[in-house]
Structure 1
Amino acid sequence: MALSDLSDWMDENTGLDCVWFVKRLSANDTLANETHQAGPYIPREFLFRVFPEINRPDVENPDCRFVLSIDSHMDRRIVRAIWYNKKLHGTGTRNEARITGFGGRGSALLDPENTGALAIFAFLVDEQGAASKCRVWVCRTEIEESLVEDRIGPIDPGQSRIWAPNLERTADLYGTAKRVRTSCYLQREEIPLPWLVNFPSGAEIVSKTIEFKPAGGMNPDTRLLARRKCEFEMFRSIEEAIELPNVLRGFLTIDEFLARAQTILQRRKARSGRSLELHALEIFLEEGLVENENFTHQPESEHGKRPDFLFPSAALYKTTTFPASQLRMLAVKTTCKDRWRQIINEADRIKEKHLLTLQEGVSVGQFHEMTEAGVRLVVPEALKSNYNKKIQPYLQSLESFISDIRLLTGRLR
């Protein structure tokens, strides 16, 4: 299918009778970690809204069947929405909702090679928000993912988004407008005044995040995930304080509205692209690594090539007499399904490239391809369990990576 097919598909499934649930497929959703979940996880609160007949705590594992079409892969079948609630009945430990009945690895939603892919579930709903069928698109390329994120904003691993044209109705039915105060959500009066005039840079927000989530006793892996979550909450609160008044005032022309929407979406994409890198930088400094002595951030390794981090430094990298075996490179990418290949040629002297990612799993086949290309994954400790058990022993935590750098550079904390 051409890219125009995806654009047409999104247009066809954008209406007052459509609600999207968008997520990146984790290894628990596909069959990548061989846990046999047999279907993607969707929050039960959302499934209760679109399939109210399964909201039956008095019944063990209530379910319903409906037609689901995976239009990106020309697959149509009758599937099952089920609430696994045996924990409530004392007959098991599960209390989660899933959609099942896809027929195994032949389905794009269960194909391990689609782990990390962006998937849109477009539910056709009535006035009460109940669904009659669902159409799905599983993005096959990075370009397709960009088309989707240009429309609704970036989706990071572990996150999901409920989206519909009639936001007021969607908020009422699905609870997306409820704003629960968290430790990092800033009320308008808590936001620095300059930020209300000019949207703060990513570095400024990360710096504020560190005030809320100082290092304390947290190890680097825990700290990274806690700060990412905190920073996202903070970003959204600032965005709401600045942009919501503009939205409520309304727009005089369609072009004016589209320009504002595009500004918001591009800002979200820019934030998502640099956030993880900035957090890693701060953690390196907190762990006692000295910039340009133990690492260099955004150096030029060769003409036109800029890895995210070089260790011990760019100067030593360019010193031809310095042993290549003592050099390290770290790339930072929130998702790595298609993006890992971008780092292979970033630092010619370094054969093994380390890649820090938050992606929740890759297929065994893709992992072997990465390994053969000299790419080693660095994954926060809490996310390792999302990977296939065959892969887990070869994953390196951020804390372990930093320890290796200390030994490499002789830098003691």
Structure 2
Amino acid sequence: MPAGDLVEWLDEHGGPGFVWYVKRLSGNDTLANASHQAGPYIPRDFLFRIFPALARQEVKNPDIRFNLYVDSHADHRDVRAIWYNNRFHGNPKGGRNETRLTGFGGGASALLDPESTGALTVFAFSIVNPPETADCHVWVCRHETEEDLVEDRVGPVEPGKWLLWPPAQSSLFPGVASSLVRTSCWLTDDEIPAAWRLKFPSGAEIIRKAVELRDDSSLDPDRRLMRRRECEFEIFRSVEQAIEMPHITAGFADIDSFIARAQTILQRRKARSGHSLELHAREIFIEERLIEGTHFAYQPVSEGGKTPDFLFPSVAAYRDSTFPSDRLRMLAVKTTCRDRWRQILNEADRIPAKHLLTLQEGVSEAQFAEMAQAGVQLVVPAGLSDKFPKAVQPHLQTLESFIGDVRLLPIV
């Protein structure tokens, strides 16, 4: 289907009769991990609001069937929403207490296809009154262009995160907080610097604040990265709310003014999502006593205007034809890599093996094999490795391990 079909789908299912649950499919959602739990995870409280008959604690593993249409792949299923509630039926400590969707027919469904791991996916649930049962229309993005169209509407959606859309519908689900919002690093009004209210802070400024609130210097680089990134996003959201809410509550003179403001907010979010991870990595390299300009270069020009995110040990070493190529390293940084990994293949001609730091929660074995054949080595924070297929996990490199390797490189 052309991209125009997605635009029409978003318009058709984006009205007041629908609420969207938007996420990137993880390896535990699809069959990439060969998990017995395969099937999209959807928060329990959200499904209880959509399907009130599911919220029956007195019944062991209550379920309900409903129509689900994967419109992106012309697929219709009579699927099952189930609450695994063993915790309340004889297993109070080790029992499950989560909801999932099942009954998709295995890998024939785009939602369970291992190749869909990492795909941005929109679940559009209809809003109905009991005893009527809601149905669900789904779009599994098939490539980067479709993901961009969705994120132009809702803002960036990162691995391990989810959101409800439109925000106005969230009021219908008072017990359900988007996973994009936490409180531990949320800045109160009096904690926000006055200069930030006049000009939105840069990514580097927000990350410096995150480092201040989450020093975490005693933690390994992998855990430090994940904790700080969570903190940084909370800071971003708190500043965004402090700056934008006065404009929103004041109202807009016309539609064009409203659209312009909304576009500013969305573009700022996308810019933050695109550069945040690399700025965190740079900060951690420095904390790990790697000297910028001596042990690594950030966004250097390799050749022909190409700008890899990081070169090791230096630009001077890279441009020195006598310096051994096997002692050079390149690290690309991409929050998601499902389609974007190919973009790094030509970023540093002298370095055949490309390292790629990502937060994506899994890839299929077939896609991993394709990456490996192209010379791409995935660098994945330790806490995310179990999201990948068991056959892939031994071939992943942690950030801590990568830093240990580049420490051993000779310098010019």
Range of TM-score over shorter length: over 0.9
Contact 2:111 2:140 in 1 (8 A): yes
Instruction: Write out per-residue CA displacement over residues 279-319 of structure 1, whole angstroms, 9 at most, x where no aligned residue.
Output: 00000000000001000000011112100000000111000
Moved over 3 A (4+): 127-131, 174-181
Is 1:292 equivalent to 2:282 in the alignment? Answer: no
Is 1:120 equivalent to 2:139 in the alignment? Answer: no
Write the distance in 1 (CA, Å) between the matches of 2:128 and 2:307: 51
1:186-265 mapped onto 2 (5 Å cutoff): 186-265=187-266
AA partner of residue 220 (structure 2): N
Write the distance in 2 (CA, Å) between the matches of 1:128 and 1:237: 37
AA partner of residue 116 (structure 2): N
Instruction: Write out per-residue CA displacement over residues 60-113 of structure 1, whole angstroms, 9 at most, x where no aligned residue.
Output: 101100000000000001100100111221256221100111000000000000
Write the distance in 2 (CA, Å) between the matches of 1:37 and 1:177: 23
Unaligned runs of 5+ in 2: none
Pairwise CA distance, 1:130: 8.0
**CA distance change for structure 1 residues 242 and 175 in 2, over 3 Å: closer, same or farther?**
farther
Question: Match for 2:154 among 137, 144, 152?
Answer: 152
Pairwise CA distance, 1:205: 0.3
Pairwise CA distance, 1:38: 3.0
Pairwise CA distance, 1:177: 6.9
Pairwise CA distance, 1:37: 1.7
Instruction: Write out per-residue CA displacement over residues 247-284 of structure 1, whole angstroms, 9 at most, x where no aligned residue.
Output: 11110100000000000000000000000000000000
AA partner of residue 134 (structure 2): S
Partner of residue 48, structure 2: 48
Write the distance in 1 (CA, Å) between the matches of 2:142 and 2:4: 14
1:318-333 mapped onto 2 (5 Å cutoff): 318-333=319-334
Write the distance in 2 (CA, Å) between the matches of 1:174 and 1:370: 43
Pairwise CA distance, 1:132: 1.2
Partner of residue 7, structure 2: 7
Q: State the TM-score, normalizing by the size of structure 2.
A: 0.96
Write the distance in 2 (CA, Å) between the matches of 1:183 and 1:95: 25
**CA distance change for structure 1 residues 185 and 26 in 2, over 3 Å: closer, same or farther?**
same
Contact 2:314 2:411 in 1 (8 A): no
Contact 1:73 1:108 in 2 (8 A): yes
AA partner of residue 262 (structure 1): Q
Write the distance in 2 (CA, Å) between the matches of 1:329 and 1:24: 27
Partner of residue 58, structure 1: 58
How well do the aligned residues superpose, as a CA RMSD in angstroms? 1.8
Of 87-96 and 262-271, deviating more is 87-96
Query: In structure 2, the residue corresponding to 1:289 is in which secondary structure?
Result: coil
Partner of residue 95, structure 1: 97
Percent identity reads 61
AA partner of residue 323 (structure 2): F
AA partner of residue 102 (structure 2): T
1:7-406 mapped onto 2 (5 Å cutoff): 7-91=7-91, 93-126=95-128, 132-164=134-166, 167-175=167-175, 182-406=183-407
Q: State the TM-score, normalizing by the size of structure 1.
A: 0.96
**CA distance change for structure 1 residues 45 and 401 in 2, over 3 Å: closer, same or farther?**
same
Pairwise CA distance, 1:145: 0.2
Unaligned runs of 5+ in 1: none
Tell me the matched-pair count.
Answer: 409
Instruction: Write out per-residue CA displacement over residues 138-167 of structure 1, whole angstroms, 9 at most, x where no aligned residue.
Output: 000100000000000000000001012xx4
Contact 2:61 2:84 in 1 (8 A): yes
